[in-house]
Amino acid sequence: MSFIALLSGLAFLITIINALSIRVIKPKIKSEIQSDVAILLPMRDEERNVLASLSSVLESQGLPHRSIKVLDDNSTDKTGVLARSLPGIEIIVGKNLPNGWLGKNFACQQLADSTTAEYLVFLDADVRLAPTAINSALRKMSELNWDFISPYPRQIAVSFLERLMQPLLQWSWMSSVPLRLAEKLPFRSMVVANGQFFIVRRSSYIAAGGHAAIKSEVLDDLELARALRKHKFIGGVAEASAVSECRMYEADHDLIEGYTKSLWAAFGGVWGSIFVSALLFITGVFPFIIALSGNRWAWICYLLLALSRLVSAARTRSTFSTVFLHPLSMIVLIALIIKSWQGKSRGNLLWRGRNVLSS
């Protein structure tokens, strides 16, 4: 149990270091961005998001040379109609999905091919931006002399299942990846990125192969960042909860489907998934079970991870309500990893009506 406490203490220490040192996007504008900036939104059946999403983008400040492009990816609802109702938006009708491509990757590639802007800002439809968000992120990118930046939005969680799972998105890397080291070291496993809000120099994007280089990757955000790092481009994640937020899933079945479609690819294969699942159980579930019998070391393990969750939640403005339900979060996550591999083995992992394994 003392070894598990050591692992829990290390996770807590890394979380503290990251909370103090993470790059932060602040909600202020120092000056206008004079470069051409293309704001690119792939949308497929986003009727419930399109107006709120584009309205927040249209309010962006400090970008005198911006363009806003939406790719309507064969939507079956009113996505295209609603997008066309707003001024200043260029609508691109998506082509049919070619063999070997995943839908979002192909949509993003089409958007990138439609512009010659110096900066490409990829944005998911469920993200809401503050007026200063893009300007401030580009300023931070310029200050650091980065080729790409992944500003991580605040994750909105409403339902109980969301509150169990969504805070893990930030905690998973806040507690395991020393971010300042990750910016300098070339290890794939240390790359952190989020495709909800992702900015890259167009020249770097093209040199790394764009989305065409990762056309069949379900974890498109991580793989794009890894491709950029492989080609010696510099960048990383930034904490952007003050200028952006995202509610990924508004229904529990969407959350389950969303995690299931991609978790099989998150840990490097079957054995990686088994190792991670075992580690999550040993560090996140087992100590709590033993702690109920009064074991002091087990309580220390449990409390250290709960404290790491508290620090992560405070830094990223995520929910505190399920911090002490961490063992339950781990059980659900392990169950979703298993469900994801079951879906992969059966070939029936779906997202937005498309099979992510047969595209």
For 40-88, the pLDDT digits (tens) are 999 999 999 999 999 999 999 999 999 999 999 999 999 999 999 999 9
**Percent of the chain scored above 90 by pLDDT?**
90
> What is the CB neighbour count within 10 angstroms for residue 119?
26
Please count the structural domains in the chain. Answer: 2
pLDDT of residue 248: 94
pLDDT of residue 16: 98
Q: Domain of residue 225: give its range.
A: 21-246
Residues 147 and 193 in one domain: yes
- 295: pLDDT strictly greater than 70: yes
Domain closes at, from 219, 246, 273: 246
Average pLDDT (128-143) is 97
Residues 86 and 170 in one domain: yes
- 358: pLDDT strictly greater than 90: no
State phi, psi for 105 to the nearest 5 degrees.
-60, -40
Domain closes at, from 246, 269, 301: 246
Q: What is the mean pLDDT of the chain?
A: 94
Residues 198 and 256 in one domain: no
Detail the DSSP E strand segments found in the chain: 37-43, 66-72, 90-93, 119-123, 127-129, 148-152, 154-155, 197-201, 235-239, 244-246, 350-351, 354-355
pLDDT-derived band at 355, boundaries 50, 70, 90: confident
Q: CATH code at 188? A: 3.90.550.10
Residues 57 and 131 in one domain: yes
Residues 265 and 234 in one domain: no
Q: Which residue has the tokens 């927040």?
A: 56
Residues 196 and 267 in one domain: no
From CA 227, how far away is CA 211, in angstroms rounded?
9
Residues 125 and 233 in one domain: yes
From CA 306, how far away is CA 259, in angstroms rounded?
23
Residues 297 and 329 in one domain: yes
Treating both helix axes as pointing N-terminal to C-terminal, what angle do 167-174 and 2-21 enclose, rounded to 10 degrees? 100
Beta bridge partners of 223: none
B/e letters for 309-335, b = 16+ CB within 10 Å, e = fewer, are bbbbbebbebbeebbebbbebbbbbbe
pLDDT-derived band at 359, boundaries 50, 70, 90: low
Average pLDDT (353-357) is 80
CB 150 within 8 A of CB 238: yes
pTM: 0.94
pLDDT of residue 124: 97
pLDDT of residue 186: 82
Detail the DSSP E strand segments found in 126-175: 127-129, 148-152, 154-155
pLDDT of residue 268: 87
Average pLDDT (241-268) is 94
Residues 265 and 203 in one domain: no
Residues 185 and 240 in one domain: yes
Domain closes at, from 198, 213, 246: 246
Q: What is the pLDDT of residues 18-39, one digit of tens each?
A: 999 999 999 988 899 999 999 9
Residues 37 and 164 in one domain: yes
Residues 49 and 154 in one domain: yes
